[in-house]
Structure 1
């Protein structure tokens, strides 16, 4: 088994951490191969498995259906999830390939290990169905040994396929009320082989799973490791086994090793307890990992499995804060959906790594993985980066189904806990999300939901007594789980953000253990406001901040920011700024998690400024940072930083000589602002001086160009930031025409800007109209990305919108339409 390790030194806060990025946490055998290449894909169903494997003569033009070449991971909905003009595809799709099977073990097992596939999956070797799985997010394995052996005994087939074994896989994300998660969920239920698929060779007897529990007291003076190993022996081979367990310190030096003889080659086996004197403790600042090496030797061969573990102790104090290793730690969190521009759920390992590093550099020490078990790669990164985890099963919205529904929930909870049992980053197993949301069934029985929640809670504690259970937003079940998170959306779905502390304290007092996950609001990247609160004057303080039925709608109901606000980055930065400065004065608070880190696609928000996108992220769907990212960084990080608000705001507006606020988000002690080379004075940072912790300057502006620079100091270190913008004093009338211009061209990709102008040619800088781009000729719009500059149908941000085109060799013409204005063209 090859373990790919890259070592990256990154300075996080004032500490320099050595971070190991490990492709797989637990090896599956001596040989494991990612099956990324040589796949064909069909976005429809087949008449039967024979259509996937029947011989096709070369050059036969009548061969149907037509397959396309793809690489894995691959998502059926890579583009259509954010197509503004049609619903995303929910139905069957097929993948096929031919494998050269070369198992090195005599009588060894050949496995296909799925790291996740959506949502129902069938596996075929030639025409034989060898495995099925229901559930889009847990790992599972198809043992194809017997089917492969049977195929290889048929000489005619071996000759026909040139010694390779045909493998076909059917994935199906068709709507099904008797599955979790519900299609009422605020995220797409993607289809396809959207996580890595591995071909694995193991001996006839191997290790199925190793469960290691590393325990240390609050003082950290001693540590113990208890280990049990489950064997995989499908052929029921008899005999004895010798098992060895080695514990290696973070530098790879052996601390202790024990051996045991096993007369049975089935079931679970427990090892004697391992002891460590003064273990190095795992924490967000020092994510120290030890290694367990478990080896089994039988007459069938030798199998070795490596497992990363960490020593740490945590506690949710009753009616109090969160403790890690005996000290208070304010959980500074965010959320993650498995979603990315251009690929949807099919994120590569490099994409995941870039995303998680960006979170850590924002100052995150906690994450809730919403709303389903996520890739093992993400859990490995949380271990190595030092990010505590709440991971949950996808029992999300809709109510409670029948026996098949419940069995899937039990199975996915069991799989999640067993598969991620050893990760020191995990502290909470989530049992559900918004289970108070009806709609999938005629009856909505709260008592039946309570009973099933109790069953899942008991199952979780039986499988793993060391971790807590939690749910979010289901008040009639809040007494069942260990930790509860109510719905608090101060300043977005209800009320105003200055109510945040009052409402949070009220909810905190209602339960023994409280953790606030999901807060924030939507922002349309690139949209800024000179007066973000103007449209909110009718919103009243309510003393409550929960999200209620219909609050997410853009129509009807009471006045609220989510419906009546401008969706500007300006407003969201103020909301985030207020929340973060308040959290510094709440010593009883366990922590919070902003929702979410990255914009993601959803079928239930077709009318948002980017259709079918939840835009609450602090980065866009392609990881482009929004302004709010730097607000978090200014509160949560130690490494000196300074960011002037407005890097994506090229034109500000107002009256001649009007004072405009220029804000700097920084964690430095002092900052000095320069406007066109002239110092406007030094300000001291005070986190309680809202907004921008006191680092704000009111500057009279006149028509023209401006360069603004900040010089900030923290101790002996100095950091700077610079922006440039134009100040427009001209007053505009209603939009009269669209103007298209080319911004840049690089590597065959042209970036273009559309702007709304009035009849005098003055830019309409507050316009939020819709615009639709089109392309005729030789080229391709880079759209359906779910970003503000990667959508062919999108709301304008400050009267403009960007789009890019991949040019061909021949002529191409870009078109743009907004409302009833004349169509605009630009010849590329």
Structure 2
């Protein structure tokens, strides 16, 4: 058919919750961006004077997704931009349907958005994380009839979009939040063509009894029917995970309502959805009127889950320990504007680490994330961004309810979701002159009731608001043993006490910061200073690097060594807690935050097990060693080039592996075979005391499980020379890859000995033709950064020319290097 062939190259068929189209095209290219406001919409459309300097303001070419704050979120010298920004493009719109509708579908844009067709405002939205649509059909047709203006744009339609992430106390999330409130069209924008009658949403509820023997699939719809069409026919096809058709039906409508119950189908012995076998059934629905069809596809899964009162989590009748982490939508060089490929890489890395559960912090995330969780078998806690600050007025509360409704309706069909989150750290005041716990409780109750009204098949939950913990189904208190309060060996005791205080318990958010590349021979030094009577509950001010009681978060070395031990202890303890439903480490990836300017990487929360550019830290492998089945082994210290100590002093070498046993070789000599025992801390017994030789040392481990084996190998130097007070910076080139040069700064004492415990803040500079690769929010992509073991690295592009690089720190002469 002609309409199917039309735009074939540019059309993609999108299967998702509320993209009700037959045809959709991602609008990625040919956009311009302006980082400021306009005096009026005419400024976006008025004709430029060719060759005239009066053609202002100046727009920049960009592709979508795009974030205002791709770089400035982690720029150490500025506050990140919060304000308006504009996008514009001229679109060729050719709807193939007779009297069809043309729609812009926003998968997410921050934080307040207005949409214009030429000079006509056609829609707006408040909220940076839920999906929304604008029907531009009538405005497009009106513009096409204006022959003067239509001629100037050569048959294309001028579209202008204003986004605004200005600070506003009467909207969520609060600017007190520990993450950036980004601006821009930072998720995909789609041009959608539909017939006159199509789908707004399909709700497909797949349920199964506790025994897993009988499944029920209830299907209902909400139509998009602006012309109030009454007569239509509908087809439904259900396909099982093996692509076998298990049900087909047809239905005729002569008085079509906005919402319709479409079908209720029983499925005997359904193939159940689980992390090990994420079986998905496909629901295909087509509505037809006057020879035109709109189709919609959903994927659903049959699973039965339960949080046992005063007990663990059950999935499909069996206990399952939720092994989780958290995700922010944030990445080096793009901030929130992650591409589908980036998102897929990140979620797959989580799965490869052994994750079966993710809390999406602290807002509704891209449908791409949820689709991946469905297909990979990762359960989800998804929440609205009611985060910190207190409680605003009616506008504020209406937005929270609207975002909760949108989140549930848009992601209703995903089998991955088991929890709707209603808030985070709602005990945190300061956005308003008054902080009224009773009003927060009342509003939390409203949200809880609303969630259950829309979807009574899933749990509700919050984290860290003790005075509301009796309202929601599942509660997570604040337990940061060994970081913000207490020591990590108290974790089990603290957790059991909190478990006893609620009916249904889940521990989300634990861990600690680590500066990638920094390692320590004595990582637990700060623990001795901590007052153990201050148990693991995080409190306001604990995240500060200044003042207050002794705590590892302030007084520790922020080494990867310490955090690996903290994680190792938590994971080995969780194996001995049969009543535990599960936990989620905070977070998976380092992310930007405006409230941490003094961190080793400025404006970055560094608690991730990977860096902001997907570089794995050592802690990633600790999780793998406990949570995965595919044979792996990792010698701790791949990013630790130089160890130190006295001559003939034994140093511990740890191997994180899921093998039955492992054999370590140092400089070709076996150090013996160790058996793995998860309760033998640290490293589950896979540790050796090794006598390094001065200089280069080669370490190799051979790990075995049954007949399988795996090898890991690293080279480390060993330094016995003692260093004194740092006196000298040097700068050296360590790599050159076709115009991309990597330089390394080192801090030495008066005898040119590397100061391996140095943590000075240094700053790289560059003048000339090159360009630093900075503002990445990583330990090797920041021009201002704390040293890791006396050194720091950054890269630059030469751009085919010459440059002079520099590095400086307080009290020491600046070093230069010509390139």
Quote the Cα distance in structure 2 between the aligned partners of 1:721 and 1:419.
45
CA RMSD, Structure 1 to Structure 2 (Å):
1.2
Who is 2:205 aligned against? 213
Quote the Cα distance in structure 1 between the aligned partners of 2:463 and 2:642.
41
Check conservation: 1:705, 1:727, Cα contact below 8 A.
Answer: yes
String of CA shifts for 1:188-237, please: whole Å, max 9, x gaps: 0000000000000001111100000001112211211001011101233x
Who is 1:748 aligned against? 739
Alignment of 1:51-130 (within 5 A): 51-130=43-122
* Correspondence for 2:778 among 768, 787, 794: 787
* Correspondence for 2:724 among 718, 733, 743: 733
Who is 2:427 aligned against? 436
Deviation of residue 563 (structure 1)? 0.3
Quote the Cα distance in structure 1 between the aligned partners of 2:484 and 2:776.
27
Who is 1:289 aligned against? 280
Who is 1:17 aligned against? none
Check conservation: 2:85, 2:164, Cα contact below 8 A.
Answer: yes
Who is 2:662 aligned against? 671
Deviation of residue 240 (structure 1)? 1.0
Q: Does 1:583 align with 2:571?
A: no
String of CA shifts for 1:232-290, please: whole Å, max 9, x gaps: 01233x33111221111113221101222223334110023111111110000001111
String of CA shifts for 1:468-498, please: whole Å, max 9, x gaps: 0000000000000000000000000000000
Who is 1:29 aligned against? 21
Who is 1:417 aligned against? 408
Check conservation: 2:203, 2:220, Cα contact below 8 A.
Answer: yes
Check conservation: 1:503, 1:543, Cα contact below 8 A.
Answer: no
Alignment of 1:3-14 (within 5 A): none
String of CA shifts for 1:80-102, please: whole Å, max 9, x gaps: 00000010000000000000000
Quote the Cα distance in structure 2 between the aligned partners of 1:610 and 1:235.
56
* Correspondence for 1:360 among 351, 368, 374: 351
Question: Which one is further off, 531-540 or 68-77?
Answer: 531-540
Quote the Cα distance in structure 2 between the aligned partners of 1:357 and 1:703.
40
Deviation of residue 22 (structure 1)? 8.0
* Correspondence for 2:324 among 333, 341, 345: 333
Question: Which one is further off, 281-290 or 291-300?
Answer: 291-300
Alignment of 1:120-199 (within 5 A): 120-199=112-191
Q: Does 1:530 align with 2:521?
A: yes
Quote the Cα distance in structure 2 between the aligned partners of 1:564 and 1:317.
39
Quote the Cα distance in structure 1 between the aligned partners of 2:648 and 2:554.
33
Alignment of 1:454-603 (within 5 A): 454-542=445-533, 544-603=535-594
Secondary structure of residue in 2 paired with 1:397: coil
Quote the Cα distance in structure 1 between the aligned partners of 2:19 and 2:765.
49
Who is 1:204 aligned against? 196
Secondary structure of residue in 2 paired with 1:97: strand
* Correspondence for 1:686 among 673, 677, 683: 677
Distance change (3 Å), C-alpha of 1:290 and 1:134: same
Who is 2:302 aligned against? 311
Q: Does 1:344 align with 2:318?
A: no
Deviation of residue 422 (structure 1)? 0.2
Secondary structure of residue in 1 paired with 2:769: strand
TM-score, normalised to structure 1, is 0.97
Quote the Cα distance in structure 2 between the aligned partners of 1:285 and 1:542.
41
* Correspondence for 2:605 among 582, 596, 614: 614
**Structure 2 runs not aligned, ≥5 long:** 6-12
Quote the Cα distance in structure 2 between the aligned partners of 1:300 and 1:557.
72
Distance change (3 Å), C-alpha of 1:116 and 1:498: same
TM-score, normalised to structure 2, is 0.98
Check conservation: 2:20, 2:201, Cα contact below 8 A.
Answer: no
Check conservation: 2:526, 2:551, Cα contact below 8 A.
Answer: no
Quote the Cα distance in structure 2 between the aligned partners of 1:22 and 1:269.
23
Distance change (3 Å), C-alpha of 1:153 and 1:265: farther
Deviation of residue 543 (structure 1)? 6.2
* Correspondence for 2:761 among 758, 770, 780: 770
Secondary structure of residue in 2 paired with 1:459: helix
Who is 1:394 aligned against? 385
Check conservation: 1:26, 1:307, Cα contact below 8 A.
Answer: no
**Structure 1 runs not aligned, ≥5 long:** 3-20
String of CA shifts for 1:694-729, please: whole Å, max 9, x gaps: 000001223121000000001111001001010000
Deviation of residue 396 (structure 1)? 0.3
Check conservation: 1:26, 1:306, Cα contact below 8 A.
Answer: no
Distance change (3 Å), C-alpha of 1:689 and 1:22: farther
Who is 1:11 aligned against? none
Quote the Cα distance in structure 1 between the aligned partners of 2:332 and 2:278.
30
For this pair of structures, how many residues does the alignment match? 809
Who is 1:244 aligned against? 235
Q: Does 1:302 align with 2:293?
A: yes
Secondary structure of residue in 1 paired with 2:762: strand
